[in-house]
Amino acid sequence: MGKAILHIHTTHSDGLATVDEILDHVEHQSDIDIVGFADHDNVQAYADALAWKARHPQSRVQPLWGCEVTTWGFKHLLALIPEPPFPTLPWPKFLPLAEAAAAIRAAGGLIVVPHVDAFWIGLGRRRLRRLAADLGITGYELLTPIPGARRAAESLARDLGDSLLVPVGGSDAHHLEHLYQVVLEFPGRSVLDFAQALRAGTVQPRWGEALAPVPLRRQLRQHTRALVVQPARHLGTWCGRCAGRWREARS
């Protein structure tokens, strides 16, 4: 069985560890095979990961192309692309949900809905169940370290158990200490093996653990990036898109 960690953020968005730091840690301090990067509306981590692989050709660790896509209304979709060609630019922020999902699928991507129950940014289990087939969603994060998710996992599995969606999980890591909060086991070792297991529903998510407490000062720094810097950028983009749509409507 191979092991993967998904939903990993880097300094390219609101994470506080670089791609090199993450891959060095995974290589030397774990038995993980696949690291799925998922920066917010940014895909630069994959290029960095390929450069790391070129410097470490004997490493077992393989990067998985990913992006956490912000759609209209601040709802998130996790896009995973296992085979080339890999997009070198992210999709525009705040696309309508159906348009964003179609763009991900057209690029050969698999769609996982992250932190389903999260306030504001989560799609919500009822809406997910209703739209999953139309949007072409593959799976959802059954296990996620957001507050309250451990307690809600059983009811989430019950509510979505007959929906044909694959239950997976993601560490949603913004610090090195949080890389292994959720681990996915799957038959095989390669990225293509993982993608096949995800499609077939043979991925098995399990809870991991944080390696150590994150110092308060670093937590505050990350929260500032996540709650102030990133939303400010998103708001500027959203206002620009609104203005553009208003001008198109008037022309």
Domain residue spans in the chain? 2-214
Check residue 106 and give its pLDDT.
98
Helix axes 97-106, 125-135, angle to 10 degrees: 50
For domain 2-214, the CATH class is: alpha beta
At 167-176, the pLDDT tens digits run 999 999 999 9
Are the C-beta atoms of 20 and 50 separated by less than 8 Å? no
Share of residues in the chain with pLDDT > 70 (%): 96
Name the pLDDT band for 221 (thresholds 50, 70, 90): confident
**pLDDT over 70 (residue 26):** yes
* Listed residue (86, 25, 88) closest to 61, CA to CA: 25
DSSP 42-54: --HHHHHHHHHHH
Mean pLDDT along residues 197-210? 96
The per-type count for the chain, helices as H runs and strands as E runs, is 8, 9
Are the C-beta atoms of 168 and 184 separated by less than 8 Å? yes
**pLDDT over 90 (residue 63):** yes
